[in-house]
């Protein structure tokens, strides 16, 4: 056990506010009874405001990957042509799920660290089809890049208007600007352990009327992840299978906290912590992975310098309570990532920068004490519009 307070800076699960943690310890209720129905109806109505949608939002007990799988099996049929736009490991995963269930997937992959280019997406859409669906990732957690979803969706609507737009918004929705209805997105998936400040266990799926029409004729095999079954149950205030009730209790409280803060302030806070992390890491001499024009405000990835002993570095970070994430897929062992979403403040980030600074100095690297903390704070104040 570590005797220092943990600063869990991975891109989910995120640390939980005390009130959220305590809510998870509540006594169970009958998930087929009136109390649960009131809870679920209230949560769904409030999730809609954060999704910026009037579409149905369903709560499925599963990891985010289950939400992605539900989106594939509920709306598509084997042999359907799908354009999977991928900029990293999670885009690849979405494509793989569609392939696994027999969709005819064309993968449009971009270099890791870059965002998807709407012009290239247009070319790919024009070159093939007819497309049943296009798969997009809002925030690619493996590369710390946020895609221009509005522009990508606009291209899809123009060139392939019949294609459903399915978006993995698991690690960005609720933290950074996102508009389900205004951008015309058909299916949007998020996950409880990310911006929502709740334990893992729930995935949220927004579904447009157009997607429901597709569901009526979709032939992919499905059972647990059949969203039609979830819709029917939700209309009766229930879920088809036993839900993660304790996580629902937590979500109820987390949404109250988010409502108190307001979505505009939440977006602003994430812009500030994102700017702070990027400025601090660069001041420490790290090169960032992401194309800075599309840098994510929920996670940042930095290259591990060749002459830095990662094991010794990470061991010292952990000794000081700072937990960061490694790289995924092709980036394993090459980068590290700092998560900054959900329950996170600018001072939390300044603490993380102080730990990084202290650790690097202890490893005899040429770092000026306080410089990264100062740079991070200045960047955050600028993002907040506060004179520093
Ligand atoms: C963008 C993105 N998609 C999908 C997932 C998968 O979610 P889960 O691990 O809950 O299945 C993650 C999790 O990190 C993610 O960040």
What is the per-residue pLDDT across 119-153, written as a single tens digit (0 to 9) for each?
Answer: 999 999 999 999 999 999 999 999 999 999 999 99
Q: What is the pLDDT of residue 277?
A: 98
- For the cut 80, the answer to whether the pLDDT of residue 73 exceeds it is yes
Q: What is the pLDDT of residue 2?
A: 56
Cα 342 to ligand 1 centre (Å): 15
Pocket test for ligand 1, best of 191, 325, 341 (most atoms within 8 A of CB): 191
Q: Sort 147 into a burial class: Cβ within 10 Å, 0-12 / 13-18 / 19+.
A: buried
The closest alpha carbon to 191, from 95, 72, 67, belongs to 67
Ligand 1 binding pocket, CB closer than 6 Å: 12, 63-65, 90, 137, 139, 141, 168, 170-171, 191
Confidence of residue 387 (pLDDT cuts 50, 70, 90): confident
**What is the arithmetic mean of pLDDT over 16-24?**
97
The CA–CA distances, whole Å, from 37 to 9, 206, 228, 254 equal: 35, 19, 18, 18
**What is the arithmetic mean of pLDDT over 19-38?**
98
Q: What is 18-259's CATH number?
A: 3.40.640.10
**What is the arithmetic mean of pLDDT over 319-336?**
94
237 contacts 218 by C-beta, under 8 angstroms: no
Cα 332 to ligand 1 centre (Å): 16
81-86/104-109 β-pairing: parallel
- For the cut 70, the answer to whether the pLDDT of residue 388 exceeds it is no
Cα 200 to ligand 1 centre (Å): 11
How far is the C-alpha of 151 from the C-alpha of 183, rounded, in Å?
Answer: 9
**What is the arithmetic mean of pLDDT over 215-223?**
98
Task: Record the tokens describing residue 251, joined without a space.
Answer: 């979500």
Confidence of residue 3 (pLDDT cuts 50, 70, 90): low
Tell me the per-residue pLDDT of 295-315, one tens digit each, with 9 for 90 and over. 999 999 999 999 999 999 999
Domain covering 7-13+262-384, topology? 3.90.1150
- The domain limits of the chain are 7-13+262-384, 18-259
User: Matching CATH topology for 7-13+262-384 and 18-259?
Assistant: no
Cα 273 to ligand 1 centre (Å): 21
Q: What pTM value is reported for the model?
A: 0.98
Closest atom of ligand 1 to 138 CA is: 1
Confidence of residue 213 (pLDDT cuts 50, 70, 90): very high
Pocket test for ligand 1, best of 141, 142, 146 (most atoms within 8 A of CB): 141
Tell me the per-residue pLDDT of 152-168, one tens digit each, with 9 for 90 and over. 999 999 999 999 999 99
Cα 369 to ligand 1 centre (Å): 36
């Amino acid at each position: 056990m570590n005797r220092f307070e943990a600063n869990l800076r991975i891109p989910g699960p995120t640390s939980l506010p005390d009130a959220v943690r305590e809510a998870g310890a509540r006594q169970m209720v009958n998930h087929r009874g009136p109390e649960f129905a009131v809870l679920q109806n209230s949560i769904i109505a409030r999730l809609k405001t954060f999704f910026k949608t009037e579409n149905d939002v369903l709560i499925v007990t599963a990891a985010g990957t289950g939400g992605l799988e539900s989106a594939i099996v509920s709306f598509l049929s084997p042999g359907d042509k799908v354009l999977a736009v991928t900029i990293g490991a999670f885009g690849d995963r979405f494509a793989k799920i569609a392939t696994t269930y027999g969709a005819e997937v064309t993968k449009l992959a971009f270099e890791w660290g870059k965002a998807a280019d709407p012009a290239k997406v247009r070319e790919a859409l024009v070159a093939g089809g007819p497309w049943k669906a296009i798969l997009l990732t809002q925030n690619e957690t493996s590369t710390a890049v946020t895609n221009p979803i509005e522009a990508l969706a606009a291209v899809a609507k123009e060139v392939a208007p019949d294609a459903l737009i399915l978006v993995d918004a698991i690690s960005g929705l609720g933290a950074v600007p996102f508009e389900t209805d205004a951008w015309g997105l058909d299916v949007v998936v998020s996950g409880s352990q990310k911006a929502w400040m709740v334990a893992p266990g729930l995935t949220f799926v927004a579904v447009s009327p157009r997607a429901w029409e597709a569901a009526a004729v979709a032939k992919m095999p499905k059972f647990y992840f059949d969203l039609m079954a979830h819709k029917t149950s939700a209309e009766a205030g229930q879920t088809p299978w036993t839900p993660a009730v304790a996580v629902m209790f937590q979500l109820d409280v987390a949404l109250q906290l988010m409502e108190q803060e307001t979505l505009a302030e939440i977006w602003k806070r994430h812009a500030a912590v994102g700017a702070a992390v990027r400025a601090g890491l660069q001041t420490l001499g790290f090169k960032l992975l992401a194309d800075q024009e599309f840098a994510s405000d929920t996670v940042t990835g930095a290259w591990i310098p060749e002459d830095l002993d990662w094991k010794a570095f990470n061991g010292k970070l952990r000794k000081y309570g700072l937990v960061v994430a490694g790289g995924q897929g092709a980036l394993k062992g090459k980068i590290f990532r700092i998560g900054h979403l959900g329950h996170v403040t600018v001072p939390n980030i300044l603490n993380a920068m102080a730990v990084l600074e202290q650790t690097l100095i202890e490893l005899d690297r040429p770092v000026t004490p306080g410089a990264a903390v100062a740079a991070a704070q200045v960047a955050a104040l600028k993002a907040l519009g506060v004179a520093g």
